[in-house]
Every structure is written in C-alpha cells, then in structure tokens.
Structure 1
C-alpha cells in the first residue's frame, strides 16, 4: 500500500523579487526613500529620477504634508516623462539614525501598502539591500487560509518588486536575503496552517518532502519506532490523540564542514493542555504551538539552499496534546529517551516532555553547538512581553544567540538558570518533575528542566518564543498578524557566522 502524500492546503502570497541594474521601461510604482531633515523633507538622489523629476517629486510630497518620519507612506502621481504611474515615498526618519532595522521596517510597511500593484521598482536598497529585500518580502506577505472565493486583484500583494543595484557586486547579498526571507515565509505558512490539516503524520510528510527537495537527509520515526527506541516523552504527550506522534530528523552534511550544530524545535501541532485542560478562550491560537519546529525546519532548509559549510541536524518531535481515556495523567511517571524519569505534574507543560527526548537524541550526535526553540511558556510573555524571546543556556553561547537576535531585528534577552530552582525540580517518585507548581520564574524552570537532557560538554541555548512566534496584535513594519517566522533569521545568521568561524 502506497504511503499517503501530504501538502499544505494553502500558501501565503508574497511578491516576486528581482535585482536589476536599471528600471524597466514601464512600472506601476517607483518606491523611494525619504528622510526627516532639520529643515523639512529630504529626498536623496535616485537612479529612478533625474534632477528635474527629483525636484518635482520633492515639491509634491512636501505639498501633501510628507515629513519623512520612519515608516510614513506617502503616494503621489509621478511627474511627466517618468516611466511609472505613481511615486510612493517611505520615510526612514533622521538620516543619521538609519540602521538596517530602520530600512527593514520601512520596506515592510511600504510593501504592505502596495496591494493591487503589478510592478514596483525601488531604491530603498541603497541604504541596505539585504534588509530592504527582507522587509519587502516579509511585509507584503498575506495568508488568506482556506477559502471558497478567490481574492480580488486589488486585495493581493504587489506582484513584483525590482531592486536597483549592481547585479554582480550585490548578487550574494540579494540572494542571501531572498532565501532567508523565503525561509521565514515557509515557517509562517506552516504555523498558520490549522491543525485539521497539519497533524503529526501530515506535518512529518510535509517536512520530509521539503527536506528532500532541499537535498537533506530525512528520517521519520512513527509511533512504533518511537516505542521501540524508548521516546517516552513524545509518546506520553501524543497518546491522548487519535493522531499518533512522529519524530523527524533532517540533516545537512556538506563535505567541507568543520563545525556541527544541532537544532531542535517543539512541534505540538495543537495543544489543548491535555488532562490539565486549557481555558477555551483563544485556544484556537494553539495551532501555533509548533512554531519552534517550523522555524528549525525552515532554518536547515535555508542552510542547504545557501550551501553553508556547516553540518546541521534538526530534530523535530511532533505530537498533538489531547485529553482522552488514553491521555497521560498528572501523577504519572514516564521514562524519557536516554533513561531519565519524570513525574508529570501538569500535562499542559507538555512541550518540555517532547523536547527532552529530542534534546537527548540530538546530544548523542555530539554537536559543537545545540540550539533549541519552542513556544514553551506563558511565563516568557509575563517576563519579557510579546516580542522579546527569552534565551537560556551556557553563558557565552546564550549571550551570543541573544545578541544575534537583536542584531537582525528579532529581539531576545539572555536569562539565567536559577540555582535555587534545582530543589524545586526534584520529585518524590522520579528523577525530576515537569512543573514546580509555582507562579515564580516559570520560563526559567522550564529551561532548567531541559538542561538535564543535554550533555554537559555541549554549548547550548534554549530560545522561548511563546510571544514572538505568533502576533495577536496589530501589524507594524514587516511584522504581520499571526505567524511571524521568529527566530528563523536569528538562526540563519547564527549558522552563517558559525560557518565562517575559524
């Protein structure tokens, strides 16, 4: 009997991106950057506009009240003899304060405003090509889901954005940014997909197909293999669901690799809390509880597409946490992969159970570095808010990962593992317990729990993205509603740096 094939039921829409030396003969929009100067609006020289057109556009923008403040969007008709229908100016703020993140956010805001546009040509990349490419791709992204009617043309994102630049000197920066952005969009698509269509078996099939297409080695363990090999944490979480768990391993092993990195990501395709049932309000957002695994899968695919000379292995535990007559109960004791036992205090602290197995398995490969991410604790949002990830781990590497996140516009903050919580981790009936029954430092307790499954000589970091992974607020810059794709850009940048490390 042939194995079923799985694919995503819907994909997000985003523009085609192109790097060109000069603008096409006709375009719908010229997208240009402007600054907020001390004496008013400033419009820098542009390859899209000659001196006369530049003066006309500046006068028109000033007349309609454009100020150049960051992320401000102003649209005006194009002057005569300009090969575009309209000019869209996007503010970058004070020219002396412009950073890559300024450009990324402005490009995202501008791209989102271009719905219904066919072709836009832009010089925003003059102030940071890579950030501009990422901002446009991420900001224009739309995910409509599964609908019976097609959208009208004026509701769709801009079809194509052409970045002006040196096609030889800037090609590597353009391609790297494009692949990175496309990887973020893959993670967004996965997270936005409802659990009716993305459950462990289907998710494993989708990841396996995407991995093979990218040239990765793929291994998928079903429930029988998990039982045989002793993955007690994954099985404990998955046994309450009629849709059994999976473990997916994706590997990128280039010949010249001198550094090895293990990536691990939580893949709970839907989280009801199990027997420790969550409140009904906003439970629909729990389709996002596999955000860590989506980010990790997208990262290793990016590593392969970028041909990074670093060995990367992704270990992705996939399960659905459901209450039923076969579900794990509070008070049960389970045996994790590797032999450590855990008392279950709260079945809604399930992510750390599947991650424990995955971390123990990833540690067996003896990587130089291990990076794991998960939508793990509500305590992360209590401590750091909805946009800043908490990072725990070995001190130096933890700080490096957090710093990398901040450098690419994915805010992260280093957090400690508390010595005093070691006592709270103890159980009267098992080696450790999965919850400490306290409101205090829940994010840090989860990190301490995970640390018990990582070999002592491995540099590691745990990144809690409970808030940053899924935006339930309004849009801003290149951050859209729902799935954000965090922390794909952090991880891709980290792998690029580790690949270059001597």
Structure 2
C-alpha cells in the first residue's frame, strides 16, 4: 500500500471515495463534515437528524455526492464522542474505511482525520489500521476474490509536517510487517514446513539487508540442542534453527528475539483432541512475529544490534517421536524429563534462548503461542507478559502501550518453579494443572542465562475468532508492533542494565 499525506480542503481529494469520521456532537463538530454538509446543501445534517446516518461508534453509512464534490462517494464512520478520539479510534476508523473500499472495489481511498487530531500518534494509528485491514485470508481459494487490495491510501490533514510523514511511513512498515506474520500463520502445515519457513526467512533477509544463517539437524546435534531435536523426532520434516542478524549499533547491548515456530502441532504422543486441531497450523505465530519484526527493523534501521532466532519444527506422533518419560538435554546442558509431549513449545524455545545467548544477546524477548492456560486467564484480548528483570519488562510493557497492543504482566516466583521439579532430571517440561502459563514461563527462565528476559504468551491474541469491523477473522500479527517499538526505544534510549 502506498501512503501519501496531504493538507488542504476537499478540493485536494483525488480519489473516488472519501472516508470521514462522524462524531456524536454533529456534522459541525469538525470542519471536514461541516464543509461536506454545506456542499451537499444540508443533506448530511438532515440524514443524521432522520437517523439514516448514525454517529454510533463504528457504524457505517454512505452518501453519493451527485457531482457536488470532487469525489463520488463519502463513507461516514461513526466515531463516538470527539473527546474520546485517540490513536486506537483512528486505527479502527481507518481500518473500517479500507475494508469498505475493498468490498466495493475501490483500489484507492482518501481518509480525512479531524482537525486537532492529525498529530503523529493519530496518523500512525490510522495508517497502521489501514494496513492491517488491507489483508485477505483467501489466498488458497481457487475463485477470484470479490474484494480488491487498496493500493493507494491518501491522508487528508489540516497540517502536514515532517513528523507526521515519518509517523505515517513507520506505521505502514509496521502494518505490512504484521501482515507478513499473518500471511505465514494462515498457511497450512503441508505448505509451510520448517524448511519452507526457513527459505521465507532467507528471502526476507536478502530483501532487507539482514545477515542470515540456518542450522540443520546435524549441526544442532553438534551443539546439543536436544529440545528442538526431540520435538522434531516424530516428523519426517527436519527441524531448522534460523538466525537473522541486524547490526545497527555500536553499544554493548544486543537484543535477542526468539520465536516459537511449530509449523504444525498435533501434540505428539500426548495428542490433542481432533476438534480445532487444524488451528495448530498457527503454532508458529511467535516465529512469524519475530520474522515480521526483523523485516520492519531492516526497513527502519534503528541504532541497535538485534538477533532474531526462529525455532522451526513440527510436533507429530511418528514412530520415532519423543515419549512421556524421555529425558532430553538442552543446549545449556540442563536435562528435561518429558511428562507431556504437547508441552513442546518450551522445549524448542529453551534451545532458541540458549542459541540467542551464544550469538551475543544481552537482553532477551521470546514470543510464543505457548499455553491454553494464558487464554483462560486473559482471553483473546490481552497478551501475557512474564519477566525476570523489571526495568527490561517495563521497556516491553511501555512499547506495548505505545503501539496499542494490550499486554498484562503476570507473576513469577520460586513457588512456581517447584511445580517443575523432576525426580530424575534437572527439570520437568510440565507441572500440575495450576498456573500453567506461569509454570511454562518459569521453565523458560531456566534457559535465559541470567540476562534480562521477557516472555510473551500470545496463545490467545495470535488469532481473531470472529470478524471485526476493522480487521478480518484469522491471524492478527500480534507482537510485531511491540517488538519493533522495543528495538527502536533501545536504539534511542539504551537498554536497562
């Protein structure tokens, strides 16, 4: 999507369609709707008074301009109270506008932001929402899609500044990076194997000036990465461990981003119920988020060093699959008793964290669709956050607030670690039914090497289970914006010690 920013009145609109927010305070609340009403001889105000057009939040109405304006149609999107307008409202508003343009076959669209609200945050929200809305989950349908991609987005503002243009471009980059993650998560396991995922990562690295390396199973064997190899044993598809490196800083800090990439998770011998198992093609959403983040970093070029690690495997109950009772040895030498083969995400992440440390990471963030327990605790709205170092955890939480991705910190503690005790190994890969999201994070902490570390459990937030006005049902690309903001903040402010 090409994004342009322009200032001026309605005569500056060069597209067939203009989308505007309609506030409860009426058409006179902002100049753009007031001017539209005047040019339509008061017909907009009459339509609102008659209830044909509603300012109810996220309500959608449309009016033809009958040659009285330089565009043929205006989309009016209910925006609620004017005082409640913020970046999130702008994100939803622009997302709805783009989805309307897609369904009506409009390849380009102008979006007017209200006077007084066209600051950098509002513009960033609008462009990010528009990019996320410009996504289709129909890539595997044999029929031509009924909707069209919006190729051009024009933002009509009362003031056009360099700061606003910079915010718009960054938001476009973030939105398209999230869409990369969403597209990967939408691919079935017979298409997106670990090997194919690794090749997609190579293509991203080549296109965005990132260093790329991939380890095969024999190389992982030499390094002692038994968690990843044990998970992969039941599948004919070999595991891959991908490293992407961005060098942008001269300081001591190197951020390590580690993503769980189970391209299909049957649960292994501890097999999952058949209902909804097909959703487990998305169990690589953490790795997809890391890859999307590395793409964004490659475009934004922040002043910090970053290592991205993708832990890619299938988890299947083949004849050589790991079994309950097996003992695996991770890359840091810790032994793990397998109590549940469906607790495999933490096994691959354990080796991923160890590998990131071996690549010089001084601060770690891992991201994974890790536990159903986190879904029970926080639902599909909020990502669970766990951290070993509060200043580093605060960096992540502040980045999430800035980007509009809801996240909530959960506790850790020695009491939870005792649930993972094993009689015959250093640690078990599962505890009892209590506090499952916390014990999973506690397990990962054992492999973080004592450096500042944060774990993001996106099991509930990686997918929308219903179609929303501004974003389609399906993968969300969650964490791409937050992780990118973390990297940018560290590049600007430094990393906490």
TM over 0.5: yes
Q: CA deviation at 1:156?
A: 2.4
Deviates more, 1:80-89 or 1:290-299: 80-89
Instruction: Give the structure 2 partner of residue 3 of structure 1.
Output: none
1:301/1:110 Cα in 2 relative to 1: closer, same or farther (>3 Å)? Answer: same
Q: CA deviation at 1:125?
A: 7.2
Instruction: Give the structure 1 partner of residue 184 of structure 2.
Output: 190
Kindly report the root-mean-square deviation, in angstroms, between the aligned alpha carbons of the 2 structures: 2.1
**Residue 70 in 1 paired to residue 65 in 2?**
no
CA distance in structure 2 between the aligned counterparts of 1:485 and 1:125, rounded to whole angstroms? 28
**Residue 30 in 1 paired to residue 24 in 2?**
no
CA distance in structure 1 between the aligned counterparts of 2:187 and 2:246, rounded to whole angstroms? 26
**Residue 161 in 1 paired to residue 156 in 2?**
no
Task: Give 1:27-426 correspondences, 5 Å limit.
Answer: 27-37=15-25, 40-46=26-32, 49=35, 52-53=38-39, 56=42, 58-62=44-48, 63-114=50-101, 115=103, 116-124=105-113, 127=117, 128-152=122-146, 155-165=147-157, 166=160, 168-256=162-250, 259-394=253-388, 395-426=390-421
CA distance in structure 2 between the aligned counterparts of 1:475 and 1:296, rounded to whole angstroms? 25
CA distance in structure 1 between the aligned counterparts of 2:79 and 2:276, rounded to whole angstroms? 36
Deviates more, 1:119-128 or 1:324-333: 119-128
- 2:234/2:315 contact within 8 Å kept: yes
Q: TM-score, normalised by structure 1?
A: 0.91
Q: What is the DSSP-based 3-state SS (H/G/I as helix, E as strand, rest coil) of the residue aligned with 1:420? A: helix
Deviates more, 1:458-467 or 1:222-231: 222-231
- 2:261/2:284 contact within 8 Å kept: yes
1:446/1:95 Cα in 2 relative to 1: closer, same or farther (>3 Å)? Answer: same
Instruction: Give the structure 2 partner of residue 9 of structure 1.
Output: none
Instruction: Give the structure 2 partner of residue 485 of structure 1.
Output: 477
1:439/1:79 Cα in 2 relative to 1: closer, same or farther (>3 Å)? Answer: same
CA distance in structure 1 between the aligned counterparts of 2:37 and 2:377, rounded to whole angstroms? 52
- 1:258/1:310 contact within 8 Å kept: no
Q: CA deviation at 1:445?
A: 0.3
Could you report, residue by residue, the CA deviation over 1:268-323 in whole angstroms, capped at 9, with x for unpaired residues?
00000000000000101001000000001110111110011111100111000000
Deviates more, 1:22-31 or 1:350-359: 22-31
CA distance in structure 1 between the aligned counterparts of 2:430 and 2:13, rounded to whole angstroms? 63
Q: What is the DSSP-based 3-state SS (H/G/I as helix, E as strand, rest coil) of the residue aligned with 2:56? A: coil
1:125/1:293 Cα in 2 relative to 1: closer, same or farther (>3 Å)? Answer: farther
CA distance in structure 1 between the aligned counterparts of 2:374 and 2:260, rounded to whole angstroms? 15
Q: CA deviation at 1:478?
A: 3.4
CA distance in structure 2 between the aligned counterparts of 1:366 and 1:232, rounded to whole angstroms? 21
CA distance in structure 2 between the aligned counterparts of 1:361 and 1:387, rounded to whole angstroms? 31
- 2:91/2:128 contact within 8 Å kept: yes
1:281/1:478 Cα in 2 relative to 1: closer, same or farther (>3 Å)? Answer: same
Q: CA deviation at 1:384?
A: 0.7
CA distance in structure 2 between the aligned counterparts of 1:355 and 1:25, rounded to whole angstroms? 50
Counterpart selection for 2:452 from 439, 455, 459: 459
1:98/1:24 Cα in 2 relative to 1: closer, same or farther (>3 Å)? Answer: closer
1:352/1:169 Cα in 2 relative to 1: closer, same or farther (>3 Å)? Answer: closer
Q: CA deviation at 1:235?
A: 0.4
Instruction: Give the structure 2 partner of residue 495 of structure 1.
Output: 487
Instruction: Give the structure 2 partner of residue 445 of structure 1.
Output: 439
Deviates more, 1:168-177 or 1:313-322: 168-177
Counterpart selection for 1:427 from 422, 431, 435: 422
- 1:239/1:327 contact within 8 Å kept: yes
CA distance in structure 1 between the aligned counterparts of 2:460 and 2:249, rounded to whole angstroms? 38
Counterpart selection for 2:462 from 466, 469, 493: 469
Instruction: Give the structure 2 partner of residue 19 of structure 1.
Output: 5
Q: CA deviation at 1:110?
A: 2.3
Could you report, residue by residue, the CA deviation over 1:112-147 in whole angstroms, capped at 9, with x for unpaired residues?
122212321111275311111011111232121212
Q: What is the DSSP-based 3-state SS (H/G/I as helix, E as strand, rest coil) of the residue aligned with 2:414? A: coil
